[in-house]
């Protein structure tokens, strides 16, 4: 690990200001992704700003019936929160499908949104990677791309977004609340928070230098059956090949978001519109524009079958 200096921030304003003023500074919260990448020298911050003591660890109801989740709420606590279990069960389910108990005890809401891809070529520093080193090329396109993205990809990058939590947040139309280095607050719709790779895959979020996530706000609950189905190589503690977050309404309508297949958490309005036509129609709409490799073409079939399985489950419950 490269040497760095360390400070413990005591206010959000001070943390944002410090991050903008020190070249190469990074925030550290849970650290479960950042420290892993620092050990491999994929991340090489010169200065770490510990934000664990900013008091952003509360979950509160909002005036208009939504829920405000502090950026430092741990994944375990968010999944176990009574309001989340009752009104946003898809979020609990997504969180519990991710990582291990130990990691969920440490990982935070803000950090989970910012976790980096698990593309093996991003992790292997002997290989080219446009995300790790801009302009160095992509080892994945002609390599082992079985786990990688088929939607939102570009000629520069086919890395998948690894988060389960963010897929549920995308389904629920969450908003990411931030504070900038100038002390100004802003709200970013989650649809605009993660960037598609285009020709700048090293840029992953809409955050500006120094800008810090303070909370994630959910709108009022969406009624219906909340489900999160994750398909992976082993039954627990593995990243998704395909995941589907869904809320099935009583009227036969539904909304869907997808993980494991997109360069960012994936949601298409047209897929929701096709809900009453069944799994095949939803899959077709969701997969419009998909670009696959020989290794990951199976994901298209897997999406449709995962949806079909969810539909059957709903029918059985009705």
Partner 1 sequence: MSSNHLTRRGLLQGSAALAAASPVVAQAAAIPKRNGGSAMIPVELTVNGREVHLQLDPRTSLLDTLREHLHLTGTKKGCDHGQCGACTVIVEGRRINSCLTLAVMHDGERVTTIEGLGTPDKLHPMQKAFIVHDGYQCGYCTPGQICSAVAVLDEIKAGIPSHATAELDDVAFSDAELRERMSGNICRCAAYPNIIAAMRDAAGEKVA
Q: Indicate the residue among 6 and 289 with the shorter CB distance to partner 1.
A: 6
CB nearer to partner 1: pick between 88 and 193: 88
Among 237, 276, 288, 312, binds partner 1 (CB under 8 A): 237
**In this structure, what token pair is assigned to residue 146?**
């079985």
Q: If 0-12 CB within 10 Å is exposed, 13-18 middle and 19+ buried, where does residue 192 land?
A: exposed
Contact pick of 13, 20, 44, 47 for partner 1 (by CB under 8 A): 47
Nearer to partner 1 by Cβ, of 7 and 297: the residue is: 7
What lies within 8 Å, CB to CB, of 191 at 6+ separation is 170, 173, 267
* 76 lines the binding site for partner 1 (CB under 8 A): yes
- Regarding 50 and contact with partner 1 (CB under 8 A), the answer is yes
Q: Is 220 in the site for partner 1 (CB under 8 A)?
A: no
Helix 279-286, helix 298-317: angle, nearest 10: 140
> Does position 52 bind partner 1 by CB under 8 A?
yes
Q: What is the 3-state secondary structure (H, E, C) of 175-240?
A: EEEEECCCCCEEEEEHHHHECCCCCCCCCCECCCCCCEEEEEEECCCCCCEEEEEEECCCCCCCCC
What is the smallest separation between the CB atom of 21 and partner 1, expressed in angstroms?
A: 12
| C-beta of 237 vs 270, nearer to partner 1 | 237
Cα 110 to Cα 176: distance, rounded to the nearest angstrom: 9
Nearer to partner 1, 28 or 169 (CB): 28
Query: Is position 6 an interface residue for partner 1 (rule: CB under 8 A)?
Result: yes
Q: Does 92 bind partner 1 (CB under 8 A)?
A: yes
Residue identified by tokens 């989650």 is 190
Under DSSP, the state recorded for 248 is E
Site residues, partner 1 (CB under 8 A): 1, 3-6, 8, 28, 31-32, 35-36, 39, 47-48, 50, 52, 76, 79-80, 85-86, 89, 92-93, 96-97, 99-103, 105-106, 235-237
């Amino acid at each position: 690990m490269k040497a760095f200096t360390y400070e413990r921030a005591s206010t959000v304003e001070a943390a944002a200001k410090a991050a903008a003023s020190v070249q190469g500074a990074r925030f550290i919260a849970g650290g479960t992704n950042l420290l892993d990448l620092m050990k491999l020298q994929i991340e090489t911050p010169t200065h770490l700003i510990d934000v664990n003591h900013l008091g952003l660890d509360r979950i509160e109801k909002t005036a208009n019936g939504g829920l405000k989740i502090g950026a430092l709420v741990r994944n375990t606590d968010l999944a176990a929160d009574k309001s989340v279990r009752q009104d946003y069960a898809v979020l609990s389910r997504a969180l519990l499908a991710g990582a291990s108990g130990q990691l969920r005890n440490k990982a935070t809401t803000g950090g989970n949104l910012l976790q980096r891809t698990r593309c093996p070529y991003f992790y292997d520093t002997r290989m080219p990677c446009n995300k790790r080193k801009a302009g160095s090329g992509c080892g994945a396109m002609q390599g082992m791309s079985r786990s990688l993205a088929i939607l939102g990809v570009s000629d520069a990058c086919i890395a998948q977004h690894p988060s389960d939590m963010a897929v549920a947040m995308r389904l629920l139309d969450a908003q990411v609340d931030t504070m900038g280095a100038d002390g100004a607050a802003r709200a970013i719709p989650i649809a605009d928070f993660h960037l598609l790779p285009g020709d700048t895959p090293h840029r992953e979020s809409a955050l500006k230098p120094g800008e810090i996530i303070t909370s994630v706000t959910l709108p009022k609950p969406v009624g219906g059956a909340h489900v999160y189905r994750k398909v992976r190589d082993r039954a627990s503690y593995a990243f998704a090949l395909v995941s589907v977050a869904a809320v099935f309404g009583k009227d036969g309508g539904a909304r869907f978001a997808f993980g494991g297949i997109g360069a960012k958490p994936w949601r298409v309005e047209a897929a929701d519109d096709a809900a009453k036509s069944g799994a095949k129609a939803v899959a077709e709409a969701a997969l419009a524009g998909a670009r696959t490799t020989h290794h990951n073409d199976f994901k298209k079939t897997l999406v449709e079958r995962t949806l079909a399985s969810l539909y059957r489950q709903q029918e059985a419950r009705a």
